[in-house]
Amino acid sequence: MTTTAKYVGLGLMGEDRFITTPDGRKIRAMIHGNGPTLVVLDAGLGANGFYWSKTYKLLAEKLPNVCIVAYDRAGMGASDPDPRPRTLAHMADDLDTIIDSFVPRQVFLIGHSWGGTLAQFAAARRRAAGRTITGVMLVDSSTRTNQYSSLKVRTSVALAPPILRLLGRTRLAKLAMFKLGAGLPRPLRNAAIAGSASRTATEAAAAEAELFLSEIDWLSKQPLRLDGVDVCVISGMKGSKIIAKIRRELIAAHQKIAAAGRWVPATKSAHNIPLSEPELIAEQIMNMVDRARVAAAQEPVLV
């Protein structure tokens, strides 16, 4: 049994369910509750579904009639790897497969970091195709700013894939991924680290990182329209003096995305808001669900 497989079926985060993609791969989803409202949690680059465990627990307690799903992207945790390039479009295909397996009436996509960028792209694509999408929340999402024009930043991003692969081969990934389990109870902490530290997981993370710059450059030129979709953007407000300028640019970009929705500052957090302020995220998700319920109740009934 692999270190990742031993955490399947333990009920650490709801029910484990494997959803089959059109090309036959298995994606592990962790599911709590049922009902017509679906909330999907998408982790950042290199993280897996267990990274959301703090927010997941709060939502499970507060939203008993909502279906809450955290999942492992391809190659992460217990999900099969994807041989295709890890473009936003291909990742959104998997996300659509998960969403459509539930046949929901309302869909909320919640993403952190690169998972937030994916959530934004997937939400806009679903809207353009006339598919169900109710709300999207971007938690300190990766957004195109002037920093990505810097040679220093682009070089550091370009070095990420070989470093990730080296960590996977030398088994140093567990140390590098330790922060993914910060503050979690031991079983969840171990599962979160194992799901990101395997050689398969580090290869999957490297494959996503290889396309990060080209995808974020391409995305900045796309009109991602979210008209009629409830949009909430949460920004981390803390950071060292070294990255203060980058943080200011990122916050400004987040506020621009949230212009027609809501921008929420996470005053106690830097980037890893799901670990440092899960209560804030859960509160904003519950607010989105409540707004959708009120709006649905006010819609005229056709007879």
Residue 7 lies in a domain: no
Q: How many residues does the chain have?
A: 303
The one-letter amino acid at 168: G
Distance CA 108, CA 137 (A): 8
- pLDDT value at residue 218: 92
- Residue 71, domain member (yes or no): yes
CATH code, domain with 172? 3.40.50.1820
138 DSSP β-pair partners: 111, 233
Q: How far is residue 59's CA from residue 53's CA, in Å, rounded to a whole number? A: 10
Domain membership of residue 299 (yes or no) is no
- Does residue 300 belong to any structural domain of this protein? no
Whether 143 and 257 have beta carbons less than 8 Å apart is answered as yes
Tell me how far apart the alpha carbons of residues 247 and 250 are, in angstroms, rounded to a whole number: 5
Residue 296 domain-assigned (yes or no): no
**Tens-place pLDDT, residues 144-172:** 887 778 888 899 999 999 999 999 998 78
Domain of 267, in residue numbers: 15-291
Question: What is the rounded CA–CA span in Å between residue 190 and residue 7?
Answer: 9
Q: Quick one: tokens of 17?
A: 């369910």
- Answer yes or no: is 298 within a domain: no
In a domain, 211, yes or no: yes
Task: Phi first, then psi: give them for residue 199, nearest 5 degrees.
Answer: -65, -35
Is 90 a residue whose pLDDT tops 80?
yes
Q: Enter the pTM of the model.
A: 0.95
Look at the chain and report how many structural domains it folds into: 1
Residues 133 and 124: their CA atoms lie apart, in Å, by: 9
Does residue 126 fall inside a structural domain? yes
Give me the residue label for tokens 């490297």. Answer: 206
pLDDT band at 1 (very low <50, low <70, confident <90, very high): very low
